Amino acid sequence: MDGEEIRKRMLDAYGIRVEPEMTAYVARRLTQAGDALGGGFPVMGGDARTGMPVRAVVDPAQLAQRTS
């Protein structure tokens, strides 16, 4: 999954816009996670509506399985 796909899935699934640095972090965590990260990992970004900072716990399995 490339950076553009990660940004789109984060926006669709969580309503969060992520910057390139956070996109790279998410990509690393998805690569490292495999099935080991059952509880998820934290992601910070901006709320798509308000732009306010948001922190959410992302489920790697859910994010990886979402269809475009």
CATH architecture of 3-65: Alpha-Beta Complex (3.90)
Helix residue ranges, H only, the chain? 3-14, 20-33, 60-65
pLDDT at 36: 60
Statement: residue 56 has pLDDT above 80: yes
Statement: residue 8 has pLDDT above 60: yes
| CA count, 13 A, side-chain hemisphere, 65 | 7
**Whole-model pTM?**
0.81
Per-residue pLDDT tens digits for 21-49: 999 999 988 887 665 656 789 999 999 99
Q: Are 66 and 9 in contact (CB under 8 A)?
A: yes
Rg over alpha carbons for the chain, rounded to the nearest Å, is: 11
Q: What's the chain's average pLDDT?
A: 86
Percent of the chain with pLDDT over 90: 59
